[in-house]
Amino acid sequence: MIRALICDDEAPARDKLRRWLAELPDFTLLPDAADGLAAAAAIDAHAPDVAFLDIQMPGLSGLEVAAQLEAPRAPLIVFVTAFDEHAIRAFDLGAVDYLMKPYDRDRLHRTLDRVRTRLGARAGGTDTGAAIDSARAQLGASDRLLVPRGPSLELIDAATIHWLEADDNYVHVHTAGATYLLRRTLTDLLVQLGDRRFARIHKSAAVNLAEIARLSPLFKGDHDVILRSGHTLRLSRRFKEALFARLAR
C-alpha cells in the first residue's frame, strides 16, 4: 500500500484529491494537513510514501516544507498548485510531478503512475532528493528552522541559534533559551541553513558567526571559541583557516 499525505489549505481541494485517491486499491490515506506547519508535522509523524504539497500555504509554503526535509527519510513529493504551467517549469521543482489546478482524473492518474514507478526505483536505491535540492535552491538559505517541541513542531528563527552539535545522525540545536534535538545530519542541516550565517569549527560542531565573542589560542594550533553567552567550543586545526578567513571579511 502507498501511504499518501494531502497538504492543502483549501478544503475543497483536499476533499477532491482524497475522494479520488480513496477509489484506488493501492493507496491508503493519512490524515490531511491544512497548512505548511501541519504538513511538516504530519510528514515527521507518519512517514508517508508520497506527499501532495500545495505550493502556496499559510505559515509555511510547500517549497519551504520540502526544504526542511532530509532526502533519505523524505517522501516523494507531488506539488499541487494554481500557478500556470510556464511558472511551474520556471521553478524547475525536481518533484515527481506537479498537478496544476484544476486537474482531472486522467491527469491525476498519470501522476500516480509516476509515483508508482519512482517508488519502485526507490526500493532499488534510487535517490529521491531532487525536489528537496530544488526547493532549497529556489529559496536560498533558510531563515527559519523546524524543531520539535513536545509532540509538535515549531518554527524558530535561524538567527537565534548559537551553535549546532552533531550526535551520530542527530543534531542538538542550541539557542539561548532551549536545546532541540533533530534527527538530521549536521552536513545536511548546514546545507539548508547556508554558509552566510554558520561556519563549521569541528567535525561535530558548527557555530553562528554572530555569536562569536573571541578566539583563545591553545597548544598545537587549536583554539577555543568563546561565544557571547560565555559558552566555549573547540576549533580544530582542520577548520581554523576557513573560520579565520570568514571572520576577517
What digits encode the pLDDT tens for the residues 114-127?
999 988 876 644 45
Please report the pLDDT score of residue 85 as a whole number: 62
Average pLDDT value over all residues in the chain: 89
Please report the pLDDT score of residue 73 as a whole number: 82
Rounded CA-CA distance 114/191 in Å is 28
pLDDT tier, 219 (very low <50, low <70, confident <90, very high otherwise): confident
pLDDT tier, 248 (very low <50, low <70, confident <90, very high otherwise): confident
Residue 167 has which C-alpha cell? 550526535
Q: Which residues in the chain are classed under CATH 2.40.50.1020?
A: 141-247
State the pTM of this model.
Answer: 0.82
pLDDT in tens, 127-143: 557 788 888 888 888 99
Please report the pLDDT score of residue 249 as a whole number: 76
Please tell me whether residue 116 adopts helix, strand or coil conformation: helix
Residue 233 has which C-alpha cell? 567550543
Q: Which residues in the chain are classed under CATH 3.40.50.2300?
A: 2-138
pLDDT in tens, 72-113: 788 999 999 887 665 565 456 677 888 889 999 999 999 999
pLDDT tier, 145 (very low <50, low <70, confident <90, very high otherwise): very high
Please report the pLDDT score of residue 134 as a whole number: 81
- Give the pLDDT mean for 185-195: 92
141-247 folds as OB fold (Dihydrolipoamide Acetyltransferase, E2P) (2.40.50)
- Give the pLDDT mean for 150-163: 92
- β-bridge partners, 234: 224
Rounded CA-CA distance 62/52 in Å is 9
Contact 95/79 with Cβ under 8 angstroms? yes
In the CATH scheme, what is the homologous superfamily, with its name and number, of domain 2-138? Response regulator (3.40.50.2300)
- β-bridge partners, 156: 145
Out of 40-49, 145-154, 206-215, 233-242, pick the least confident: 145-154
First to last CA, the chain: 54
Please report the pLDDT score of residue 127 as a whole number: 56
Please report the pLDDT score of residue 132 as a whole number: 85
For the beta carbon of residue 91, count every other beta carbon within 10 angstroms. Answer: 18
Rounded CA-CA distance 144/193 in Å is 8
Residue with cell 563549521: 200
Cis peptide before 75 (omega within 30 of 0): no
Q: What angle do CA 114, 117, 122 make, to 5 degrees?
A: 120
